[in-house]
Amino acid sequence: MKGLLRRIMRRSVDRAVQMQPRRVDRIRNDLLYAAPSERDLVAEIRRAAERLLAAGLAPATLGAVAVRRSDKSATRTAVGADLGCIDNRALDTVPIDDSDPLVAALAFHEAAAWGLPPMLLALAEQHRVPEPVVASMSEAAGSIRLGVATEPLPEGVTVIRGMGVLAVGDDVGTAVTRLEAAEFLATITVHMSDRSWTDG
């Protein structure tokens, strides 16, 4: 009788898991990222997300940051999470073979930041990237290029026209710094273009 009850209960639990996989994943992630061993990671992601938001590099629920955990998995801010309110409940563990450019980049890099910086996107619509007019900012940004979401993304900043901008680095702080520096250069480039247009 006990064996039968166990089997029935196990089947019920298995069926519930199959019916609500997202909810089960959410609970598993909440518990994982609430652990004391994960506090530094959560704090690092929170700081990077707050910087992304404060610098105007992404609307609150459209930007994201991610960190590689292993060769196969990554931690990212949950899709739609408010960058100003990141805690253990706002993080997801995802496979690196994900089709999302933010996560796919972690196959080759340690961390990534995704944003919608307006000046970089404006230049991309003209098939342009920022001019390297300030040496320190160019160095901080690294390589800035136009790319597509389906190709391997190099170190630096990649503007994916019509989608957003991805910056990668050794940690999420570096990735956000690259995004900030690239947007700074893009702002100067746009203003220089506006000035040359009015002067001409």
Determine the 3-state secondary structure of 15 from DSSP: helix
Taking residue 67's Cβ as centre, other Cβ atoms within 10 Å add up to 20
State residue 4's pLDDT score: 63
Mind listing the pLDDT tens digit for each residue in 1-49?
Answer: 566 656 665 665 555 545 444 665 667 777 777 788 889 999 999 999 9
**What dihedral angle (degrees, nearest 10) is formed by the CA atoms of 184, 186, 187, 188?**
90
Q: What is the mean pLDDT of residues 93-106?
A: 87
State residue 11's pLDDT score: 64
State residue 36's pLDDT score: 84
- Answer whether residue 190 shows pLDDT above 80: yes
What rounded mean pLDDT belongs to the chain? 85
Please tell me the least confidently modeled range out of 12-21, 64-73, 91-100, 137-146: 12-21
Structure tokens at 145: 């290029």
- Answer whether residue 66 shows pLDDT above 70: yes
Higher pLDDT, 20 or 163: 163
- Answer whether residue 197 shows pLDDT above 60: no
- Answer whether residue 191 shows pLDDT above 90: no
Do the Cβ atoms of 133 and 188 come closer than 8 Å?
yes
Residue 2 neighbours by CB under 8 Å, 6+ apart: none
State residue 8's pLDDT score: 64
Cα–Cα distance list, 109 to 49, 148, 157 (Å): 18, 17, 12
